[in-house]
Structure 1
Amino acid sequence: MKQPTEMSHLNISPEEDNSSSNSNEYTTYQDCPRKVPLGGQFSDDGESQNFLPEHNLGKKKYETEYHQGNASFGMSVFNLGNAIMGSGILGLSYAMANTGIALFVILLMAVAIFSLYSVHLLLKTANEGGALVYEQLGYKAFGMPGKLAASISITMQNIGAMSSYLYIVKYELPIVIESFMGVSTGAWYTNGDYLVLMVTVVIILPLSLLRNLGYLGYTSGLSLLCMVFFLIVVIIKKFQIPCPLPVDVSALNETIKVLNTTLSQLNTTAVDYSEDACTPKYFVFNSQTVYAVPILSFAFVCHPAILPMYEELKDRSRKKMQGVANVSFLAMFIMYLLAALFGYLTFNVNVEPELLHTYSKIYKADVVLLIVRLAVLTAVTLTVPVVLFPIRTSVNHLLCASKEFSWIRHTIITVFLLVGTNALVIFVPTIRDIFGFIGASAAAMLIFILPSAFYIKLVKKESMKSVQKIGATAFLLCGFVVMIGSMSLIILDWIHNASSSPDTHGKGH
């Protein structure tokens, strides 16, 4: 998840399509500085939108010819890779542990292909509908309900991304502090909940209150480099960590004293040290398997960034942008598969919902892992304000579109969003629940439901009996099945866990 894409200009002109009845219409936007956050909110003051009426393409054909974007194919691939890559990579090993290697690969390929098909629908709809903003497509297709659906889905997705970033702070910062200070757990300044609040107030809030956060978009490159470094370390550590995992007797004795339980109970609820735990499984079905598809969906969502990147592409065409998406998705597919596979083969059944945290069972002060943690913590902390920016812009546009900028309103919305996100991180027991819920709802809307619904509504030249419309309709129905099915199973799992004793909870708790 998912970084904003800076724009070189804001003259919007979809590629010409001679066969389209709408080929002579397009939408332009008022020129403004390069401040276009993820979520498609084009802004000239950081908080508002200004749209100009549609014009006839024949009158200003030079704008399509001479006012192109300046992002090369390679740079666009890099930018889209940044948009796809996010904290979701940390949960993929957990998904593999609860589906098995073979089933995971099948699901990963399916979600990647579906996401690419969704990008195809979105690009074609943008050309036909004459808009390169996700919310504007929703408005053109279904009026205000369509715009609200797009805005709410993007907001939920970004809140999920913010929560996942703050979960990394909650999990990893205590370990980093303990390593540097040599203190044992239990001190207030190693409590993850307190640290999340402190980081939010001291670092994230001041950055989030700025009217223009465009310069923070450069952290997307840092985030991608951190994840590549993380992947390399995961592969190396696979060959350094023995299986079964070594038993830390002193840690076990201390834990037994605290929990006042038996050794057998401890091994069944914490870490499995048996030889069987080292045998990879190819097909696994358990209560946690239902989280696999939502986690994968969450990891592949980049759709709000597709249209701004399309507008910025040099010598843009739908075919060229589809090529950018193909290369980016292939690269991320390979990274996701390697990270999930080697993380799973390292810990097998003992892998946790956040992979990096799992290494703390073995290494308390490993220098390489400490560097990885610091790099990831820096990247995600600086990324939270960037992800918050389009949510605030969307809320402000929906509630106060006609009003001038107000620092009071700006501050209230920012504080409200950060308070809500911190509450999620503190009170929701595991990052798995965030990945699962957001992946099953907002991600399913952005990947499956909205692009296919917009396509069916806005692409007029194809009849409902055409292969393209039938495929889009099937994709729409598939999205509802995925969303309703995943949400139902996840809620049932929550109810089951709530009614069970702590000893019977899944490993994510």
Structure 2
Amino acid sequence: MCVSVTMSTNTDCYNERSGETEALLESDAARPRVGGASFSSSVFNLINAIMGSGILGLAYAMANTGIVGFCILLLLVSSLAAYSIHLLLTLCDQTGINSYEDLGGRALQHSGKVVVGLSILIQNIGAMASYLFILKSELPAAISSLLSPETGGHAWYENGRLLLIIVTLCVVLPLSLLPRIGFLGYTSSLAFFFMLYFAVVIVVKKWSIPCPLPQNVSSFQISNSSDSDCSPKLFEISSKSAFAIPTMAFSFLCHTAILPIYCELDRPTKTRMQKVSNISICVSFLVYLISALFGYLTFYGHVDSELLLSYDTYLPRDIMVMTVRLAILLSVLLTVPLIHFPARKSLVLLLCGGQAFSWFIHITATLSILGVVLLMAIFVPDISNVFGVVGSTTSSCLLFIFPGIFYLKISDQPLRSVHAVGAFLLVVFGLMMGVISFSVIVITWATNS
């Protein structure tokens, strides 16, 4: 999940990726403008809004669902994401509303607006926790790979939790305290190219690691690695499969960025914006599929839940792995403050309503959110837990359930119309996916504990 920022003379709009939310920093940002962003620029912005940290967990999802099972699920989730975007665009045209929270208020009154704001807040907290988790796991390896091989022992920079606290206090906190941080959007636009580079490295390094994997690698604890480990599985069902769909939902969530991008599109029409979303989802689908497939075909059943960690033992000082790790870390570091901004905005709106700006409220909300996120990143043992819980709850709501409910409540179409039936099925799928995945995840935790 990275963030894209669309800059204009009147507004600073930024859109959080892979779960992701927008902040309208000026009052006139919500008004459609003629002569705004070009078609290609809008596609680029939405791709940035889609692709994020979920890409690091998709190879693990493929290992637990099989290649064919993963492809079917990924195609299903991406298609439903495109359809739910279609419903949101239809509602936008009918009502003139271009804010996800306001659509919730129109459909379900004040309670709807509160529920949507709360979902966005939780989604952003989960997204920030996933980014800080990446920093915790990848930063020590990145620093160690840059130092000489003779540097041994357990140095302080090998402690991921300590490094995470230092980086949060010295970099993330100061940037998050800024009342306006739209300038970071220019650097975060590089995130898409980082993701493309990540996919290229995964493909290239497939041929650098032999299979079967070496048996003397203690970190993987492989006792009987054999040729059978190098046979890809087409279908796989286990308790870990419950993390697959939530991870995919986490990876395709961009719905709160759709309407602001629609407003800034040059010659905005629903058909034109639907083409933007379809192209963006297709490009993201291909990048996700390629990186997941080649990551799985490199490590098979031994792939880590955070893909880059799987390369540490076999390619500890590889130049391409080092550079892609640094690129991901830079993207993560600059993205966390941007994701924090709409999270703080939702929290202030929920607790203080339309109260005038106050530095006390601003600082208190910033410290509270970062404190919760930091604790989650430090104590959550596996990034798949973040993807699973957030993906099965708020991601499923924002991606499937809310668009369907809003369409059924707001649209004047008869209940037997094609789109009304589709919206109902979208809600049913979201509820089933969320309840089943979350239940299996909780049962798995209880069993393991």
Instruction: Give the TM-score of the pair, scaled to structure 2.
Output: 0.94
8 Å contact from structure 1 (residues 77, 328) kept in 2: yes
Residue 215 (1) aligns with residue 183 (2) = yes
The within-5 A match list for 1:10-89 is 33-36=11-14, 38=16, 39-44=21-26, 67-89=33-55
Question: Where do residues 110-509 of structure 1 align in structure 2 (5 Å cutoff)?
Answer: 110-181=76-147, 182=149, 183-184=151-152, 186-247=154-215, 249=216, 252=218, 266-268=221-223, 273-460=225-412, 462-498=413-449
Quote the offset at 1:245 in angstroms: 1.6
Letter in 2 for 1:108: L
User: Could you tell me how far apart the structure 2 residues matched to 1:185 and 1:286 are?
Assistant: 39
CA RMSD of aligned residues (A): 1.9
Partners of 2:134 and 2:153 in 1: CA distance: 18
Q: 5+ unaligned residues in a row in structure 1: which ranges?
A: 10-31, 53-62, 256-264, 499-509
CA distance in 2 between counterparts of 1:281 and 1:184 reads 39
The answer (yes or no) to whether the contact 2:5–2:12 under 8 Å persists in 1 is no
Partners of 2:198 and 2:181 in 1: CA distance: 26
Deviation at 1:41, TM superposition (A): 3.8
Q: Could you say if the C-alpha distance between residues 184 and 160 of structure 1 is closer, same or farther in structure 2, counting changes exceeding 3 Å? A: farther
Q: 1:185 & 1:420 partners in 2: Cα distance?
A: 32
Contact 1:280 1:345 in 2 (8 A): yes
Unpaired stretches in structure 2, ≥5 consecutive residues: none
Is the contact between residue 2 and residue 302 of structure 1 (CA under 8 Å) also seen in structure 2?
no
Judge which range, 200-209 or 363-372, deviates more.
363-372
Listed one character per residue, the Cα deviations across residues 395-427 of structure 1 (whole Å, up to 9, x for unaligned) are 112222332212121111111111100110111
CA distance in 2: counterparts of 1:447 and 1:280, whole angstroms: 31
Question: Per the alignment, in what secondary structure is the counterpart of residue 288 of structure 1?
Answer: helix
Indicate the percent of aligned positions where both proteins have the same amino acid. Answer: 43
Change (3 A) 1:212 1:51: closer
Give the AA of the match of 1:42: L
| Range 122-131 or range 400-409, more displaced | 400-409
Looking at structure 1, the residues matched to 334 and 414 of structure 2 have their Cα atoms a distance apart, in angstroms, of 47
Aligned equivalents of 2:182 and 2:209: distance in 1?
Answer: 41
CA distance in 1, matches of 2:437, 2:153: 37
For the 8 Å contact 1:294–1:438, the answer to whether it is kept is yes
State the one-letter code of the partner of 2:423.
A
For the Cα contact (< 8 Å) 2:15–2:256, is it kept in 1?
Answer: no
Distance apart, 1:36 and its partner CA: 4.9
Whether the aligned pair in 2 keeps the contact of 1:98 and 1:292 (CA below 8 Å) is yes
- One-letter amino acid of the structure 2 residue matched with residue 6 of structure 1: T
The AA in structure 1 aligned to 2:440 is L
Contact 2:2/2:331 (CA < 8 Å) preserved in 1? no
Counterpart CA distance in 1 for 2:29 and 2:40 is 30
CA deviations 1:291-312 (Å, max 9, x no partner) are 1111111111011100000001
1:69 Cα offset (Å): 4.6
Distance 1:402 1:329 in 2: 35
What SS class does the counterpart of residue 191 from structure 2 fall into? Answer: helix
1:14-33 per-residue CA deviation (whole Å, 9 max, x = no partner) reads xxxxxxxxxxxxxxxxxx54
Deviation, structure 1 residue 372? 1.0
State how far apart, in whole Å, the 2-side matches of 1:117 and 1:87 are.
Answer: 23
> Which residue identity is paired with 1:166?
L
Q: Secondary structure at the match of 2:312?
A: helix
Instruction: Render the CA deviation track for 1:152-189: whole Å, top value 9, x for unaligned.
Output: 12112211211111111111111112122343463332
CA displacement, residues 213-260 of structure 1 (integer Å, 9 cap, x when unaligned): 10111233221111111111100000111111234x4x64xx7xxxxx
Closer, same or farther: CA 50–76 of 1 in aligned 2, 3 Å: closer
Q: Quickly say closer, same or farther: Cα 1:442–1:184, change in 2 above 3 A.
A: farther
Paired residues of 2:13 and 2:22 also in contact (CA < 8 A): no
Contact 2:176 2:340 in 1 (8 A): yes
Residue by residue over 1:177-221, the C-alpha shift from the partner in whole angstroms, topping out at 9 and shown as x without a partner, is 212234346333211111111110011001111110101112332
Secondary structure in structure 2 of the residue aligned to 1:316: coil
Secondary structure, in 3 states, of the residue corresponding to 2:190? helix
In structure 1, what residue type is equivalent to 2:436?
Answer: G
How many angstroms apart in 2 are the aligned matches of 1:371 and 1:36?
A: 27
- CA deviation after TM superposition for structure 1 residue 431, in Å: 0.2
Larger Rg over CA atoms:
1
Q: Which residue of 2 aligns with 1:19?
A: none
TM-score in terms of structure 1 length = 0.84
Deviation at 1:434, TM superposition (A): 0.2
Amino acid at match of 2:12: R
Letter in 2 for 1:144: H
Shift of 1:439: 0.5
Aligned residues: 443
